[in-house]
Chain A
């Protein structure tokens, strides 16, 4: 006959072990949310918010931008996006200029994105199966916007691992990378007016001055 003490101790150890592995498991799940799960969570959250918001339904651009600022943009790495769009000119810019460039580029992309979202808010998104290897630090999440009329639009998100989460570093729409599409335009501005010229042009565009 077993004495009750070792059994209780064994049980306590088992409970502790289960509790610890559960906690650890939860921690791992939090730290390493799969990139496709994250894209889906963010996209559906943004769409649901936009669809439910009476001010946005009434056509408020300001409110759309608020939603983007709080729910979408924290998941983007604008310094990295700007660096990719600048190419080799990025290193020629001072840290202060880099910060301003990232801020203005961010503003431009938000303006573009809010216009597109306003148009496509009633469509559904299909999420393609993710192909990634364990330990990948960069991954592409593929989605398609299914429209009521017209062909689906393929939208891919390039994500980069950042500490315990993923940050978006490019959006590729129907094969057109938002970031690389700007490379020649940025180069042209820098050739004509230096890095400050590019900052000025981006700032003007964000204030609503039309492009040539």
Chain B
């Protein structure tokens, strides 16, 4: 099933690209789907402003910080394990040691990841994911994508996201209400971390769509190169 989605996903995107690139005034190299992406961004923005942002603000106002931090820590602990797995896939053994060290410390002494002891003793998070692994393996970034509710992405990072969902563990919980509750908490937790960033974009951007797109692509490039990206080639 996942393999089928993966194999069809780029094909569908390419088709959409072919259909839509005709109407773009100046098709951008990184964002050939700009008209479609802009429409999706606008839709996302309306719903996000009207429903999601107020709900997230309520979560921040009502739920004590201690509890919210614990929720983040538990999800981050799982992501650290995924990061360690991706270190292996990319052959980064020193980073693997770092990330596994975090998982062992936080799971064992941080009560199943409720506390992020590793960060307190200065072991920083590795932040590797499948999108970066695909990049290291030589896959092209592909067209930029804006996915409503998930935010900025690309074909390569979208494939990474699907791989991430496929490895679980939340997806393999048989009890559907429990599974959905965890998905919901995961989504709320992530969105809550971006509340401040949204305010900054509102102040800084001339065109929020472009601002978010370019910031995302720069950030991903930085992560792929582990914080040491080579200088970008000048556009002709």
Q: Could you tell me which A residues sit within 8 Å of B by CB distance?
A: 87, 108-109, 111-112, 115-116, 119, 149-152, 154, 174-177, 180-186, 188-189, 191, 201-202, 205, 210-212
Contacts and interface: CB of A to CB of B under 8 A. Distances in A.
Contacts of A188: 206-207, 210
A175 B221 contact: yes
Nearest to B235: A87
B219 A174 contact: yes
A202 B206 CA distance: 7
Contacts, number: 73
Contacts of A212: 207-208
A85 B120 CA distance: 38
B193 A150 contact: yes
Contacts of B221: 175
A180 B206 contact: no
Interface residues of B, number: 33
The B contact surface, by secondary structure, is helix
B46 interface: no
Interface in B61-96: 65, 69, 72
B124 interface: yes
B208 A151 contact: no
Q: Which 5 A-B pairs have CB atoms at the shortest separation, nearest pair first?
A: A175-B222, A112-B204, A185-B206, A176-B218, A176-B215
A115 B119 CA distance: 26
Nearest to B208: A211
5 contacts: A116-B200, A119-B196, A149-B65, A180-B232, A184-B210
B205 A211 contact: yes
Given A149-B69, A152-B124, A185-B211, A175 B206 contact: no
